Amino acid sequence: MTEWKLDDFDVTPEEGKDRFQDFALPLPLLRGIHELGYQFCTPIQSAVLPLSLADYDVTGQAQTGTGKTAAFLITILTHCFENPLEHTVDPGCPRALVLAPTRELALQIEGDAKALGRYMEERTLAVVGGMDLQRQKDKLHAKPVDLLVATPGRLIDFINRRDVNLRHVEILVIDEADRMLDMGFVPDVRRIVYQTPPKRKRQTLFFSATFNDDVMRLAQSWTLEPEHVAITPEQVTTDRVEQKFWLVSADRKAKKLVEFIKKTNPERMLIFANRRDQTHELYRYLTKNGIECEPLAGDVPQRKRLSTLNRFKDGSVRYIVATDVAGRGIHVDGISHVVNYDLPEDSEDYVHRIGRTGRAGAEGISISFVSEDDAFNLPELEKYLGKPIACMQPDF
């Protein structure tokens, strides 16, 4: 087989855009990036990588779908490659740790790390709740781990059992810090952070969709003189996603959704409902009307959730009905449409939802059904987005 060379990563320079090869990344990593089809950095990657690759602490404000996961994974893989260990470490002693609030997100990060580092020797492993603990323990003990991706609760389990030692962590990543707060994980995260070396002896990358006072206090506690990078919600939601707000009475939403799907045949679509029971009810209605789809809610068994996500990624399932909790873990390129079957009560959740489409520079469409039950959420959403919302009749 012909040896892969940097010349094989032929990307014509474009003004105002950064190419990955411009950052002098390791050749095996560039090969992985190339085979994933990436050419130019997203705005947050262009802003973060010069800082993180130079070992600065970074606090980053960015929504899902902006490319932040690749930014911190590229940083970790580059650091491990350029700083090989002089001696073998014990299993369960990772060099880098990524904390994520949900199982799905942690597993997605693990998959992304393995894809980016497919030509590198660095080993990545995820430990998450809701899956077989003994099997994860066996993988931890099998051989050393360079990058450990974890949800807080499961990592605490392994720390208590002395299966994980965080004293050698060189890079700590805290992802979706605001979600950690919302889900009550901060005491666990704080305990985990204290198990790692002092912040003067590690690099910390801290990401959050919002930076309110509570998030700022966490960032100040866990980072050292960080450089702050912000990709604002307005940029994310307005530039890449066409947003539509359709006036539909509550008793006609399901029927209107079926009509829309059958007339327009969306390529790949996520449909969000606010509650588990609504998710299952809508799934049954769509199936009954000849539309193949799958549900994703907190009460769906973990094994089935992972199977559904994998089928969604490979295209064998085109439509998913999800709650916000389950939807947080869906990081799939190529989602053409997001439908807010129910308008979320929290404006931040709206941004998270529609961020599932229009990822990595692609365009997407979001459709929000506005019924008599949803209308009272509009003023806060307009305030959050910083612009008026025009509601109209469905345009099909």
pLDDT tens, position by position, 258-279: 999 999 999 999 999 998 899 9
Q: Residue 65: which of 328, 266, 306 has the closest Cα?
A: 328
Q: How far apart are CA 179 and CA 346, in angstroms?
A: 13
Q: What is the pLDDT of residue 47?
A: 93
Compute the average pLDDT of residues 36-65: 90
Query: What band does 157 get if pLDDT is binned at 50, 70 and 90?
Result: very high
* pLDDT over 90 at 134, yes or no: yes
| DSSP-based three-state secondary structure for 288 | helix
pLDDT (average), residues 139-158:
95
Q: Measure Cα distances from 339 to 258, 322, 365 in Å.
A: 12, 10, 9
For residue range 315-362, list pLDDT tens digits in order: 889 999 998 865 565 667 788 999 999 998 888 788 878 878 876 556
Is the distance from CB of 302 to CB of 78 less than 8 angstroms? no
Cα(320)–Cα(340) distance, integer angstroms: 12
Higher pLDDT, 236 or 148: 148
Q: What is the mean pLDDT of residues 61-89?
A: 89
pLDDT tier at 54, thresholds 50, 70, 90: very high
Residue with tokens 């950690």: 180
Residue 253 has pLDDT above 50, yes or no: yes
What pLDDT score does 239 carry? Answer: 61
pLDDT at position 328 is: 61
Q: Please give the pLDDT value at position 395.
A: 79
* Strand duo 337-340 + 319-322: pairing: unpaired
* Percent of the chain that is helix, strand, coil (3-state, to 5): 45, 15, 40
For the record, the structure tokens of 290 come out as 């000849």
pLDDT at 330: 67
Report how far residue 315's alpha carbon sits from residue 75's, in angstroms, rounded to the nearest whole number. 30
Q: What percentage of residues in the chain have a pLDDT greater than 90?
A: 58
Average pLDDT, the chain: 89
Confidence of residue 234 (pLDDT cuts 50, 70, 90): very low
Residue 326 pLDDT: 59
- Domains and their CATH numbers in the chain: 6-231 (3.40.50.300), 234-392 (3.40.50.300)
Residue 71 pLDDT > 60: yes
Instruction: Kindly tell me if the per-residue pLDDT of 103 is higher than 90.
Output: no
Give the pLDDT of residue 194: 96
Q: DSSP per residue over 162-207, as a string?
A: T----TT-SEEEE--HHHHHHTT-HHHHHHHHHHSPPGGGSEEEEE
Structure token pair of residue 169: 């962590």
| Rounded Cα distance, 9 and 291, in Å | 41
Interval 188-229: pLDDT, tens: 999 999 999 999 999 999 999 888 889 999 999 999 999 999
| Residue 396 burial class via C-beta count within 10 angstroms: exposed 0-12, middle 13-18, buried 19 and up | exposed
Predicted local distance difference test score (pLDDT) of residue 291? 94
Partner residues linked to 115 by β-bridges: none
- Residue 342, both tokens: 């129910």
Token pair recorded at residue 196? 């790692």
- Please tell me which residue, 182 or 336, carries the higher pLDDT value: 336
**Reduced to 3 states, what is the DSSP secondary structure of residue 216?**
helix
The torsion region of residue 384 among left (phi > 0), alpha (psi -120 to 50) and beta comes to alpha
Query: What are the tokens at 176?
Result: 């979706």
User: Taking a C-beta distance cutoff of 8 angstroms, is the pair 241, 358 a contact?
Assistant: yes
